[in-house]
Structure 1
Amino acid sequence: MQVLIIGAGEVGFHTALRLSHEGHRVVVVDSLPERVRQISEQMDVQTLVGQGSSPAVLRTAGVHKADLVLVVTNSDEVNLAACRFARLLAPAATLIARIRSTDYLDFFEEVGAASLDVDTVINPEREVATQIMQFLAVPAASSVADFAGGMVKMLGLKIPPTCPNVGHPLSELRIAGGPRYLVVAIERAGKVIIPRGDDVILSDDLAYVVTRGENIDLVVEHFGLQSQPVRNLVVVGGGSIGRLVAQWARERGIKIRIIEKNEARCEALVDQLEDVTVLNGDGTDLSLLEEENVGAADVFAAVTDDEEDNVLIALLGRKMGARRTIARVAHLGYVPLVSSLGLDLVVSPRFAAVGAILRHLRAGKVLAVAPLKDEDTEVIEVEAQETSELVGKPLSQVKLPQGSLVAAVIRGEEVEIATGDTVVHPGNRLVIFVTRKVLKKVEKLLTVRLEYF
């Protein structure tokens, strides 16, 4: 696939890195020479210095050859202009644009993004708000991904020292008389392990567990975690993320308080949100946090535009007794470091944008994609084809490449957590864990390309 990426910031950089490693032909354009030089030094892609919204630059970059044009600069206006010219120069290409302005997003919903020459709009703030809402639904989990419309869930569970399963082989772990689950990956000391039956779970591991949606409470408790519902939420930061979270959480009946230091933004929030308490104040002010008794909050989230403040605020909330804490960070490289500080959820708009882009790249018979934190692994939902080698025989007889694992099979409204005896039929939906190294082998096995074209 020929891909043209306009914008070499973190989102463009990490997307280009991912696609180049998968063997796609990638061209990256950015107006800043230092960004272009960094990409040239770290990956095998073509680069060009220039303004991505310039028709001349787009022609030089070979836009007419592109199957996909991905526009992810920091300017919505540049992104929209680049899409307009790219549509004229490459009518058959698929266009994906990152758009942050709520005004533009609201207008897109009204008239349709296609009318403005964009096939798919990626909004990082909305993606982060969605992640936070998934966390609020399962607050014991560090991450939640939905498949098959929520019938199958993948939970990232941070294993506590009190977990009764610590030290036991995975082959021995089961809920007596209860539902099945499958541990598809374990993140330990920053590395992802693809476990086998004789592998064990250790304290502080991040275990990725696939189970049926209705069984999440039992699975969470099985791993020594509590699944208490969220009734009281405090959000520091009333920007796009904070406003969306407050709006959606209110609809779920959660009691919300927003702390925002910008007085004008507070007034706007009061006008926009009903039944939400808005406080004008600085989230780093310890006396304010004590006065508002944030230590009694079920979830305390710091989502301001200052990532350093967010980490400090979330740590203060944790120290004061908040049951679960969330921090928004901007830089992708900071996510593992901040996660190691003991916060329950660390969200990044840029990481969320990369994940959203990957979901749209894995099209065709691929129905959903959830990348893991290391970006080298992902879980996909794909429809089984008649020609697939997985079809018509027990999975124990299928030679899946090492680095891939069928986690669940969905047949209509029926969900089966996969075992060696599971038989896949044409039209079934499969939830598969796969590493980037074996992506092409899994493509061949499924007889479906795990990419856009």
Structure 2
Amino acid sequence: MKILIIGAGEVGFHIANRLSAENKNVVVVDKNPDALRRVTEYTDVQTVVGSGSSPAVLEEAGIKEAEIILAVTDSDETNLVACLTADILSPSTKKLARVRNADFDPYHEIFREKAPHIDTVINPEIEVVKTIERLISVSGAVEVEDLADGRLKLVGLRLDNSSVLNGQRLSEVSVKTGDSNFLVAAIVRNEKMIVPRGDSRLMANDLVYFISEKEKLANSLNLFGKPLKPVKRVMIVGGGRVGARLAMRLEKEDIKVKIIESNPDRCAQLAEKMTRAVVLHGDGSDQELLTEENIADMDVVASLTSDEQTNILISLLAKRLGAANTITKISKFTYIPLMATIGIEQIISSRLSAINSILQHIRKGRVLSAISLKGEQAEVIEAMALSTSELVGAPLRKISMPKGSLVVGVVRDQEIIVPSGETVIAPNDRVIIFAQRETVPKIEKLLSVKLEFF
């Protein structure tokens, strides 16, 4: 598979790095030689200096041999024109454009349906707002993802000393809890991700990823001693595009919202847009202001400014002042592994959201969804199995899955199955697989060669 990436920024760099590690043929195009130098230093890919919207540059980069072009620069216009130009030169190449401007929101479907030069439009800011909403819905969760069209939840929670799960072997959990549908997909211990076995023991301070039916989520959370609580008050620090999108969505859910924004002109714009949210002009890192605005009564404080150091400071301050939960926007991926050491775990990144959106379109076998976990340490892949699959027709305990992978969910018509070793996958089942990063290429090969898709 040859993939052409337009843009060597954070998103382009990390997609190139990810795909290069999976032995894909990747070419990165950017006008900035310094950005390309960083790419070549850390990844084994080809680079071309020039504008991704230039026909000559695209031809030099090999657009006619490319299976996919990903236009992920910081310029929406460049991305759209790059896809248009690529369609003229190579109509068969699949084209994905990263578009962030809210003005384009109503036209995403039109682009996909009526503009043949763009197969998919990805707005990472829309995706990151959805991520924040999922985190808000499960108090204290480090990660919350929807699978099987929202019928299944993948949740990552830190295990406390007080939990009934503390010290239990996974083979004993269903007996101790009476919940035969509780399935642990992964354990992160000392920043190392573990694919669990029946004899694996859960320990205090583990980050536990588990699968739960949406209707049974409250029961699963009770096992962790974290009851499902309604969110009534949210403070948003930073009234940029992400903050504004989030506030408008929360208003519709009848949640009381306060927005703190340092730019007075932006405050005036936000006040016109909002129907019920309170918009305050001020510095979100001002302790006196936060105290005056009753931060201790907030269910969630979301730090969404354009400066990640400020976001980290605000989240730490909010915790100290008594906020129940904090969500912190981070841009640099190198910061993500460090956050847990300072007590910040509910992290969102528009760039990581963009990568998740892009991955599902890159994976072979027309994968339905692909979700990166714990800063790309692992991936959850959702695919459809037909009769030709090696996964079909035998109990899972008899199927040789690649090391570092695990089938964590099966959806059959309207039935949701949390699998055991005796589960037999049938044709047309939707299969959800957890895989450590180094195992993903083997899973992808399995899905593209051994599985057929609708």
TM category (shorter chain) comes to: over 0.9
One-letter amino acid of the counterpart of residue 58, structure 2: L
SS at match of 1:340: helix
SS at match of 1:34: helix
Distance in 2 (CA, whole Å) between partners of 1:110 and 1:440 is 33
> What does residue range 68-79 of structure 1 map to in structure 2 within 5 Å?
68-79=68-79
Distance in 2 (CA, whole Å) between partners of 1:176 and 1:167 is 13
Distance in 2 (CA, whole Å) between partners of 1:202 and 1:451 is 40
Deviation at 1:180, TM superposition (A): 1.4
Q: Is 1:137 aligned to 2:137, yes or no?
A: yes
One-letter amino acid of the counterpart of residue 79, structure 1: N
Cα distance, 1:373–1:177 mapped onto 2, change above 3 Å:
closer
Cα distance, 1:398–1:110 mapped onto 2, change above 3 Å:
closer
One-letter amino acid of the counterpart of residue 295, structure 1: A
Q: Could you list the per-position Cα deviations for residues 403-440 of structure 1 after superposition, in whole angstroms to 9, with x for gaps in the alignment?
A: 11111111111111000111111001111112243334
1:383–1:429 Cα contact (<8 Å) kept: yes
Cα distance, 1:132–1:12 mapped onto 2, change above 3 Å:
same
Distance in 2 (CA, whole Å) between partners of 1:121 and 1:447 is 24
Cα distance, 1:179–1:214 mapped onto 2, change above 3 Å:
farther
Deviation at 1:344, TM superposition (A): 4.1
Deviation at 1:111, TM superposition (A): 5.9
Cα distance, 1:125–1:140 mapped onto 2, change above 3 Å:
same
Question: 2:384 aligns to what?
Answer: 383
SS at match of 2:5: strand
Question: 2:404 aligns to what?
Answer: 403
Question: 2:6 aligns to what?
Answer: 6
TM-score, scaled to structure 2 = 0.94
Question: 1:28 aligns to what?
Answer: 28
SS at match of 1:301: strand
1:30–1:52 Cα contact (<8 Å) kept: yes
Worse-superposed segment, 100-109 or 274-283: 100-109
- Aligned Cα root-mean-square deviation (Å): 2.1
Q: Is 1:184 aligned to 2:181, yes or no?
A: no
Question: 1:353 aligns to what?
Answer: 354
Question: 1:215 aligns to what?
Answer: 216
Distance in 2 (CA, whole Å) between partners of 1:11 and 1:328 is 15
Cα distance, 1:107–1:263 mapped onto 2, change above 3 Å:
farther
1:140–1:220 Cα contact (<8 Å) kept: no
Question: 1:118 aligns to what?
Answer: 118
Deviation at 1:2, TM superposition (A): 0.9
Deviation at 1:358, TM superposition (A): 0.8
Question: 2:50 aligns to what?
Answer: 50
Distance in 1 (CA, whole Å) between partners of 2:292 and 2:340 is 27
SS at match of 1:409: strand
1:385–1:447 Cα contact (<8 Å) kept: no
Distance in 1 (CA, whole Å) between partners of 2:74 and 2:112 is 22
Gapped regions of structure 2 (runs ≥ 5): none
Gapped regions of structure 1 (runs ≥ 5): none
> What does residue range 409-424 of structure 1 map to in structure 2 within 5 Å?
409-424=410-425
SS at match of 1:427: coil
Question: 1:151 aligns to what?
Answer: 151
Worse-superposed segment, 380-389 or 99-108: 99-108
Distance in 2 (CA, whole Å) between partners of 1:189 and 1:155 is 19
TM-score, scaled to structure 1 = 0.95
SS at match of 1:140: coil
Q: Could you list the per-position Cα deviations for residues 94-149 of structure 1 after superposition, in whole angstroms to 9, with x for gaps in the alignment?
A: 11111111123344456657528322112222111110001112123111111111
2:388–2:450 Cα contact (<8 Å) kept: no
2:141–2:157 Cα contact (<8 Å) kept: yes
Cα distance, 1:144–1:123 mapped onto 2, change above 3 Å:
same
SS at match of 2:407: strand
1:443–1:449 Cα contact (<8 Å) kept: no
SS at match of 1:424: coil
Q: Could you list the per-position Cα deviations for residues 241-298 of structure 1 after superposition, in whole angstroms to 9, with x for gaps in the alignment?
A: 1111111112222111111121221222222121111112111111110100011101
2:27–2:46 Cα contact (<8 Å) kept: yes
Distance in 1 (CA, whole Å) between partners of 2:116 and 2:448 is 35
Question: 1:171 aligns to what?
Answer: 171
Distance in 2 (CA, whole Å) between partners of 1:68 and 1:415 is 34
Distance in 2 (CA, whole Å) between partners of 1:23 and 1:8 is 19
Q: Is 1:268 aligned to 2:265, yes or no?
A: no
Distance in 1 (CA, whole Å) between partners of 2:431 and 2:68 is 26
Question: 1:240 aligns to what?
Answer: 241
SS at match of 2:333: coil
Question: 1:255 aligns to what?
Answer: 256
SS at match of 2:23: coil
Distance in 1 (CA, whole Å) between partners of 2:220 and 2:139 is 13
Count of aligned positions:
452
Deviation at 1:336, TM superposition (A): 1.8
One-letter amino acid of the counterpart of residue 153, structure 1: K
